[in-house]
Amino acid sequence: MRAGESEHAYYQCRHLASRGVEVHLLTSRRNQGPRDMPFTVHPIMRDWSWKDLPRLVGFLRTNKPDAVMLMYTGWIYNAHQMITYAPSIVKWVLRGIPFVTQMETEEEEENWRWRSVTTRAMRKAAQYLVGPRGVDYFFGTLLRDSTRLIFLSEQHLAKYAARHPEVSGKSEVIPPPPLLTLCSDDSGSARRCGRTKLGLSDDEFLLAFFGYVDMNKGIETLFRAMQIVNKEVSNIKLAMIGGGRGSASTRVDQRAQIVADYERELLALPGQLGISNKVMWLSGYDSDSDIGSMYLSAADVCVLPFDRGVTLSRSSLAAVLAHGIPVITTRGESVETPFRHEENLFLCPPKEPEALALAIRQVMESPDLQKRLRDGARALAREWFSWDKAVARTIGAFQKEPWESHLTN
């Protein structure tokens, strides 16, 4: 899938395997993927509905895992309720093993509003079988019966803890590290190569946006800010790195149509604003390719103007910070503890093109500020977005034997 959750699953499994963990990935039939992987892929699930329950149970009984991790976001499982009872199902099939749920996103409850009478009846039946106390209408027993919970940001943890107070005592925050292959940049070779491929002269200032083109990422704000800056500065360009989501959702539904329509509108917007000659649309790339890293290395500044503000959960932020690039991004309702304005990030209000344009000009015109942001980006990447630290903490989330003894022997 062209989705951040897919990339996170791939890299997380790969890094766990590199630490000597035997990893088996259960996924949908359509998501097997063509590449060779250092872990075993089981593409046997059809739609993650109750009809797939025998497949899940059979997989567990055949493979007998020492622990189970669920990477959860509703739409990947067709927003079906079966997966939200996975902790209870696993504990029924294999008693005593740890079950860790990794909440990939701040879940969108509107995905559940279309539920049919039959689905509501099945939810009631499942609730009766597992015991109704502590069962969440949207998240089933994920919050109640998971041994541990991993959240990708402090904000996500706070919102779920407000919903279920017991969540805090069994949760931790592990942000996603960079979800791309980093290219070597000996003596600036990656930067030179990237700028050459983009046809940039030495005096052109390159802004970059990194990540899938999607709603709520503030791309319209970025284009309008670019229009403002372009009237004052002629040697500026913008590279859109990552491409569109395309067929991330394989279901032909209203959500998929909205995403497709949005991508078409965005592609047309630079022309409507008179900056089409300033915006370079770069296609997507394979997970094992370092092309994305090369283009990021070519940038002078990266702009990530999220509509709801930056959080630790943004994998695009992790990728940019790993390259030591100054980052301009947006301030949400609250600022998470690692973020420092004008030290490791330059923060401005969301959805305000004028404010974003001013931020771009300030960073462009101050070499000292750029250096401070570069140094801060590298420090932030080491402290919060290291794969070594993330994998060690993920392994630590599995508290029970025989998992720990197997890893330490």
Among 200, 105, 192, which Cα is nearest to 157's? 105
Percent of the chain, pLDDT > 70? 85
Judgement on whether residues 219 and 170 belong to the same structural domain of the protein: no
Q: How far apart are CA 242 and CA 212, in angstroms?
A: 5
Q: What confidence tier does 264 reach under pLDDT thresholds 50, 70, 90?
A: confident
Q: How far apart are CA 257 and CA 56, in angstroms?
A: 30
Q: What confidence tier does 403 reach under pLDDT thresholds 50, 70, 90?
A: very low
Q: Write down the pLDDT at residue 250.
A: 45
Judgement on whether residues 392 and 380 belong to the same structural domain of the protein: no
The CA-based angle 387-389-395, given to 5 degrees, is: 100
Give the helix, strand, coil percentages of the chain, each rounded to 5.
50, 15, 40
Lowest-pLDDT range of 39-48, 261-270, 292-301, 345-354? 261-270
Q: How far apart are CA 391 and CA 11, in angstroms?
A: 10
Three-state DSSP state, 299: coil
**pLDDT beyond 90 at 116:** no
Q: What is the token pair recorded at 141?
A: 């027993």
* Neighbouring residues of 194: CB distance < 8 A, sequence distance ≥ 6: 294, 295, 296, 297, 298
Judgement on whether residues 115 and 222 belong to the same structural domain of the protein: no
Judgement on whether residues 121 and 202 belong to the same structural domain of the protein: no
Judgement on whether residues 379 and 397 belong to the same structural domain of the protein: no
Please report, for residues 48, 239, 241, 261, 282, the alpha-carbon distance to residue 211 in angstroms, rounded to integers and kept in the order given. 27, 11, 6, 18, 11
**pLDDT beyond 50 at 407:** no
**How long is the chain?**
409
Judgement on whether residues 230 and 358 belong to the same structural domain of the protein: yes
Q: Write down the pLDDT at residue 303.
A: 97
**pLDDT beyond 60 at 13:** yes
Lowest-pLDDT range of 245-249, 268-272, 300-304, 337-341? 245-249
Q: Write down the pLDDT at residue 132.
A: 60
* Neighbouring residues of 39: CB distance < 8 A, sequence distance ≥ 6: 13, 14, 16, 17, 22, 23, 24, 25
Higher pLDDT, 37 or 385: 385
**pLDDT beyond 90 at 177:** yes
Q: Write down the pLDDT at residue 245.
A: 46
What is the CATH number for 135?
3.40.50.2000
Q: Are 298 and 207 in contact (CB under 8 A)?
A: no
Q: Write down the pLDDT at residue 401.
A: 46
Judgement on whether residues 145 and 236 belong to the same structural domain of the protein: no
Judgement on whether residues 193 and 303 belong to the same structural domain of the protein: yes
Judgement on whether residues 398 and 375 belong to the same structural domain of the protein: no
Judgement on whether residues 205 and 101 belong to the same structural domain of the protein: no
**pLDDT beyond 90 at 272:** yes
Query: pLDDT for 237-256, tens place per residue?
Result: 999 998 654 444 444 455 66
Q: Write down the pLDDT at residue 237.
A: 96
Q: How far apart are CA 180 and CA 177, in angstroms?
A: 9
The stretch 370-388 carries a mean pLDDT of 96
The stretch 383-389 carries a mean pLDDT of 94
Q: What confidence tier does 102 reach under pLDDT thresholds 50, 70, 90?
A: very high
Judgement on whether residues 244 and 267 belong to the same structural domain of the protein: yes
Q: Write down the pLDDT at residue 26.
A: 94
Lowest-pLDDT range of 101-115, 182-196, 266-280? 101-115
Three-state DSSP state, 181: coil
Model confidence pTM above 0.75: yes
Domain span at residue 89 reads 4-177+388-408
Domain total in the chain: 2
Judgement on whether residues 215 and 278 belong to the same structural domain of the protein: yes
DSSP codes, 300-353: SEEEE--TT---TT-HHHHHHHHTT--EEEE--SS--TT--BTTTBEEE-TT-H
Q: Write down the pLDDT at residue 283.
A: 75
Q: Write down the pLDDT at residue 97.
A: 92
Q: What is the mean pLDDT of the chain?
A: 86
First to last CA, the chain: 36
